Structure 1
Amino acid sequence: MSPVKKMADLRGFNISPMQWLCVQLLFFVVGIKLMVQGSEAGARGSVDALETFHHGYDQKLEVSSARHPRGGWGVRRRFVQGGADIEESYSRTWRSVFRDGAEFGDNTVMVVSLDGTGDYRSVQSAVDQVPDGNTRRVTVYITSGVYEEKVIIPITKPFITLQGEGRNRTVITWNDTADAAGTLMSASVVVKADHFIARDISFKNSAGPPVPTRVNMQAAAFRISGDMAFLYGCNFFGYQDTLYDHEGRHYYYRCLIEGSEDFIFGVARSLFERCWLHSIAEDGRGALVAQGKYYPGSIMGTSGYSFVSCIITGTGRPWLGRAWGQYSTVVYSFCEMDADIIPEGWYDWGLPERARTAYVGQYRCTGRGANTTGRVPWARELTDGEAQPFLSIQFIDGPW
C-alpha cells in the first residue's frame, strides 16, 4: 500500500486536527524522500522551478491583502454601503472541505502515482473508474510529478476532486491547440461534470506562444463547463486562452492564471478571490479577460466575472478586458494592478454597440495600472452600492 493511501486510511480514525496535521507532515516528508530516491529527476526539476516562481506569489499576495480593508482569512468585513456585513467569500462551508479532510472521510480515494506505488499511473485511468451517475465525493489524489496526458471528466461523473501534493509539485500538461482539436477540446484538462473540486495542482498547456500570422492558436490549459466548481490553490499556465471558464458557476481562490491574450475567457459566472493574473504578453499586445455574456438581464444574471483582492502583474500593455459578448460583464474590486495596463483599459472588439451594453469597471483598485485617467467612457468606477453585488459569494449563488 502506498504512503498516500495509508494517509487517506488514517483519516478515518478519530484524531484531533493537530494530530492529523502531524500525520500529514510525516507522510509528506517520507514521500519527498522516496521521490528524491526514485526516478523522477526530470519531473523534480520542473516542479522545483514552479516552486521558486510561486514563492514570490505567496509573498506578494500577503502584502497586497494587507493593503486592502478586508481583514484576514475567515474574518467578517464591513462595507460602507448600508453598514452591512458581508462574509469572507472563502466561507466556512467551503473551508471545511479541505480543513477537515472531508474528501477523505468515508469517501472513495484513488491514488495516482507515476512510479506505480499508487492505484493508477495516469489521472485519466482513475477518472475512468468513477461510475457514471456518481453521487458521492471521489478524490483522485495525484502524487508529485509531471503528468503528460490529456484528462477529460465527462458530464456523467460529478463530485470528483483532483487533489495534488502541491500546486508546484503536481502538474498536468498537454499540448493541443485549436488548430488540431478546436478551442473547446484544446484544453489539457476538460471538466464537463458538476460539483468539481481541484486543489494544489498546476494545469498547463505546453503548446508554446501563438504565431501572430496564424489563426486557431488558442491553447487552453483548463476548461470547466460544469456547474458549482471550486478551485483552490491551483496554477494555470499557457499563452492564448489559458483558462477557458466556459459555463456554470465557479469559485477560484488563491489561484495563479498566466497567459498572453484573453487568458481568462468564457461565458461562466465566476468569482476570483485573492488570485494572481500574470501577463506574459509581448510587443504591447495582450488582454487579461474576454468575457462573453451575450444576453441581457440583471448584473448578477447568468454570466460575468468578478475579481476581488487580486494581483495583476506582468509584461506588455494588456487590456483589462475585451467585450467578447454583447453584454460582457467584468468588475475588478480591491485589486492591485501592478501591470502596465493600457490607459483605455477596455476594448469593444471593434463593435461600438458593445460599448453601449457591456458592464465593465473597477472599484477601489490600487497600483499604476489602476489609474482611470484615459479609460474608455463606457468603463465604470463603481460606487459602494454598485460594487456590493460583486463582492460576496452571492455573486455565484454560493455557498452551495
Structure 2
Amino acid sequence: MVSPTFIFYFTLTLFLFLNVSKAQNKASNKTILVDKSGKGQFTSVQKAIDSIPSNNKQWTTILVNAGVYKEKVTIVKDKQYIILKGKDRLSTVIEWDDSGNSLKSSTFLLYAPNFMARDITFKNTYNLVLEDDVVKKITWAPAALLYADKASFYGCGFIGIQDTLTDLQGRHFFYNCYIEGAVDFIWGFGQSLYQNSEIHVKSKDIGVWKAFITAQGRESDSQTSGFVFKYCKVTGTGPAYLGRAYKSHSTVVYYQSSFDNIIAPEGWNIMRQAGNEKYITYAEVQCKGPGANLSKRVKWEKTLSSGELQKFIDRKLFLNQDNWIEEQLIHV
C-alpha cells in the first residue's frame, strides 16, 4: 500500500517539474511586436511572419497591437510554431476585400501545422458594406482558410458572407470564438470542435433569404472529419439551415447548444447528395431555444447512441488523441 507521505511528495515533485518545464518553454519563446503606428518591430502582420526563418522549430509569438490591418496574410507550410495574438477580437482585425475563389480569395491563409491564434478577427469585407444600397453578387469570399493540422483559436472572430471559415483540412479547435456569415459559412473537410462559441447568421440584410451554416465534406466511413458544435449558440436572422450536405458522408453534430428562432423547421438540407441520406450524420443532441424544435426535422437526421455521441463530444477522442492542444497551451 502506498503511503500518504509518498503520494504527497510525488504530487509535489510532479507539480514542480511541470511548472519548471512550462517556465523553460515560455522562456525559450521568441516574441515579435506588430504595431500600425510604428512602435513595434513591424507595421505589417505579413512582414512579421516573413521574418520567421523557414523550417522554424521555436514557438514564436507575434503580438499584434490594436488596429485594423488591411492586408492579406499567408503562413506557408514551413513557418510552423506561430502564436498570433491580438489585444481582443473587437479591436484587432486583419481584413481584406477579395472574392470569386473559395480558396485564393481568403484574407488569412494557413498552411503550416502547429499554429495558435488568440483575440484577433479575420474578416473579408466583400459585401459587408453595401455600395449605394446595392448588394454585389453573393460569391466565395473567405475570411480564413485552414489547410493545416493542429491549429487552435481562442477568442477569435471570423467575419464574411460566403465560405467565411474555410475549414478545409486538419484538426482544429475553436474556443469562445465568433463566426459570422450567410452561405456555407463554415465549410470544408476539417475535423473540428467548436466550443462555447457564437455562430451568427447574417442574411436578410444583405439580400440572402436562405442561409446555410455548414457545408461539411466528409466522403467516406474511413475518414474521421466532421464539425462538432459543443455549448455554442446560433444567433442572427433566418431562415437558416444547420447544414447542407456537401459530400456523401457529411458529418455535423450540435450538442447542448442554443438556437434562436431562425432555424428552418426541417433543419438540414442537401446540396448535391440526394440518395446518400443514410450515410450522412447530422445530429442535434440536448439543444435548446426556440429554434431547437425537432418535430419537423428531416427524417434522415441521426439519433446517436451514447457511445457514438461520446466519440464526437469528447475532445480527446475526437481530435486530441496526441494531446496537441495542451502542448500548445504551455507556450502561451
Is it true that 1:287 corresponds to 2:212 in the alignment? yes
The farther-off stretch of 321-330 and 352-361 is 352-361
Q: Residue 29 of structure 2 corresponds to which residue in structure 1?
A: 107
- CA drift of 1:105 comes to 2.7
Identity of aligned residues (%): 38
Tell me which amino acid in the other structure corresponds to 2:319.
Answer: I
Q: Secondary structure at the match of 2:291?
A: helix
Is it true that 1:135 corresponds to 2:60 in the alignment? no
Distance 1:138 1:339 in 2: 43
Is it true that 1:231 corresponds to 2:150 in the alignment? no
Contact 1:290 1:321 in 2 (8 A): yes
The farther-off stretch of 189-198 and 330-339 is 330-339
Distance 2:299 2:135 in 1: 30
Q: Residue 334 of structure 1 corresponds to which residue in structure 2?
A: 256
Number of aligned residue pairs:
296
Q: Residue 15 of structure 2 corresponds to which residue in structure 1?
A: none
- CA drift of 1:212 comes to 8.5
Structure 1 residues 255-282: Cα deviation after superposition (integer angstroms, max 9, x where no partner): 0001111110010100011110000112
Is it true that 1:260 corresponds to 2:182 in the alignment? yes
Is it true that 1:192 corresponds to 2:111 in the alignment? yes
Structure 1 residues 335-383: Cα deviation after superposition (integer angstroms, max 9, x where no partner): 0111410011111214322312111111111111111111111102334
Relative distance call for 1:240 and 1:304 in structure 2 (3 A) is: same
Distance 1:382 1:102 in 2: 44
Tell me which amino acid in the other structure corresponds to 1:232.
Answer: Y
Q: Residue 235 of structure 2 corresponds to which residue in structure 1?
A: 313
Distance 1:288 1:257 in 2: 10
Runs of 4+ off more than 6 Å: 100-103, 210-213
Structure 1 residues 295-337: Cα deviation after superposition (integer angstroms, max 9, x where no partner): 222xxx3311111000001101110001001110000000011
Q: Residue 91 of structure 1 corresponds to which residue in structure 2?
A: none
TM-score normalised per structure 2: 0.85
Q: Residue 201 of structure 1 corresponds to which residue in structure 2?
A: 120
Distance 2:252 2:102 in 1: 22
Contact 2:245 2:270 in 1 (8 A): yes
Contact 1:362 1:382 in 2 (8 A): no
Q: Secondary structure at the match of 2:310?
A: helix
Alignment of 1:170-181 (within 5 A): 170-178=92-100
* Structure 1: tracts of 5 or more residues without a match: 1-95
Is it true that 1:358 corresponds to 2:284 in the alignment? no
Contact 1:361 1:379 in 2 (8 A): yes
Distance 1:102 1:335 in 2: 39
Contact 1:223 1:246 in 2 (8 A): yes
Structure 1 residues 38-79: Cα deviation after superposition (integer angstroms, max 9, x where no partner): xxxxxxxxxxxxxxxxxxxxxxxxxxxxxxxxxxxxxxxxxx
* Structure 2: tracts of 5 or more residues without a match: 1-17, 325-332
Distance 1:263 1:199 in 2: 20
- CA drift of 1:162 comes to 0.4
Tell me which amino acid in the other structure corresponds to 1:396.
Answer: L
Instruction: Decide which structure has greater helix share.
Output: 1
Instruction: Decide which structure has greater strand share.
Output: 2
Contact 1:138 1:161 in 2 (8 A): yes
Alignment of 1:369-384 (within 5 A): 369-384=291-306
Distance 1:243 1:270 in 2: 12
- CA drift of 1:138 comes to 0.8
Contact 2:127 2:136 in 1 (8 A): no
Contact 1:103 1:138 in 2 (8 A): no
Distance 1:351 1:302 in 2: 19
